[in-house]
Amino acid sequence: MKKLINEDMGRHTSFRAGGPAAVYIIPESREELVSLVGSLRREGSRYSVLGNGTNLLVSDRGIAETVIEIGKGIDFIGLLGGGDSCILAEAGASLSAVASFAARMGLSGMEALHGIPGTVGGAVVMNAGAYGTEMKDVLLCCEVLTKEGEEIQLPAGELDLSYRHSAVPENGWIVLSATFRLSPAEPSEIQQRMREFRDKRAEKQPLDKASAGSTFRRPSGNFAGRLIEEAGLKGCRFGGAQVSEKHCGFIINEGNASAGDIYGLICHVRDLVEEKSGIRLEPEVKFWGDFS
């Protein structure tokens, strides 16, 4: 288990901004993770769980609680026996790696999820999705660590999965693994579909810039990017943060943005879009720490 003090969260989030985590711990196995969480609970210490940090903005003032990174060492991916076309992946595995593994195994269903840069745990929490497929469509069940320290398996139906929402945070669960149910198909066809989704993404999204993907949730019957563009905010800057000129739904770090710049721009965009369209955008990005 690796323990770091005052670890710069800009190194662990795709926005590449934010202050330090007072304590940053990287458990190297599921057993280490379960035992670490048990001892933090017994001490009454607060903690937050980090996947790949691709949907997160951490305050410039940092965060006082312990950050637990779930990644390497908790990233097994394998086929489940029994001929059910199922893949088991631990929470720290990258979703892209799971989708690539599925393709090699001739299992279809995750092609559209391949380009989402998070971990399996983060994707379950967010019910991540793209191009008409969400985690909900392929997730069979999930193992979680409960607040009481129990490791339990839940069918996907008990996770209350809906648009970018799951019941994981409100229950204080930690995702340990996920099982995906997929359908047999030709590997070359699956790979071809994955390439098509990858090309679409590269064409539309500013993938060469630091961001957290879509900054805002999709408002009902509309698109955040369209509303932002119509409000005249394309390219709008706040310090080092900018509304992407390629895709207005993305706020990007142009190089030296602070978390305060990014947060300030998020608030400005939300307020101006509401003033112009009457629609209040809700952030999809999660915020850690104090932004007051």
Ligand X SMILES: Cc1cc2nc3c(=O)[nH]c(=O)nc-3n(C[C@H](O)[C@H](O)[C@H](O)COP(=O)(O)OP(=O)(O)OC[C@H]3O[C@@H](n4cnc5c(N)ncnc54)[C@H](O)[C@@H]3O)c2cc1C
Catalytic residues: 164, 214, 284
Q: How far is CA 255 from CA 16, 121, 145, 210, 258, in A?
A: 8, 28, 37, 8, 9
Applying CB under 6 A, the span of 36-44, 52-60, 101-109, 215-223 interacting with ligand X comes to 52-60
Q: Which helix (H) or strand (E) holds 203?
A: helix 187-204
**Which two three-digit tokens encode residue 171?**
């229950």
Rounded to a whole number of angstroms, the minimum distance from the CB of residue 206 to ligand X is 8
Question: Which of 10, 25, 52, 259 is the binder for ligand X (CB under 6 A)?
Answer: 52
Applying CB under 6 A, the span of 48-56, 146-154, 239-247, 255-263 interacting with ligand X comes to 48-56
By the rule CB under 6 A, 19 interacts with ligand X: no
By the rule CB under 6 A, 14 interacts with ligand X: yes
By the rule CB under 6 A, 49 interacts with ligand X: yes
Angle at 155 between CA 152 and CA 157, to 5 degrees: 135
Rounded to a whole number of angstroms, the minimum distance from the CB of residue 151 to ligand X is 13
Rounded to a whole number of angstroms, the minimum distance from the CB of residue 218 to ligand X is 10
Measured from the CB atom, the residue of 207 and 272 that comes closer to ligand X is: 207
Measured from the CB atom, the residue of 1 and 84 that comes closer to ligand X is: 1
Q: Coil, helix or strand for 271?
A: helix
Question: Which of 63, 88, 91, 259 is the binder for ligand X (CB under 6 A)?
Answer: 91
Residues 86, 80: contact at Cβ < 8 Å?
yes
Whole-angstrom distance, CA of residue 145 vs CA of residue 39: 14
Contacts with ligand X by CB under 6 A: the residue count is 33
Among residues 179, 190, 185, the alpha carbon closest in space to that of 87 is found at: 179
Question: Which of 21, 126, 156, 273 is the binder for ligand X (CB under 6 A)?
Answer: 126
Rounded to a whole number of angstroms, the minimum distance from the CB of residue 184 to ligand X is 25
Rounded to a whole number of angstroms, the minimum distance from the CB of residue 175 to ligand X is 4
- Contacts (Cβ under 8 Å, ≥6 apart) of 240: 253, 254, 255, 256, 257, 258, 261
- Contacts (Cβ under 8 Å, ≥6 apart) of 130: 112, 113, 115, 116, 197, 201
**Which two three-digit tokens encode residue 31?**
């057993």
Question: Which of 105, 207, 272, 279 is the binder for ligand X (CB under 6 A)?
Answer: 207
Whole-angstrom distance, CA of residue 276 vs CA of residue 267: 14
**Which two three-digit tokens encode residue 26?**
């990287």
Positions touching ligand X (CB under 6 A) are: 14, 48-56, 70, 91, 116-119, 121-123, 125-126, 128-130, 168-169, 174-175, 207, 211-213, 286
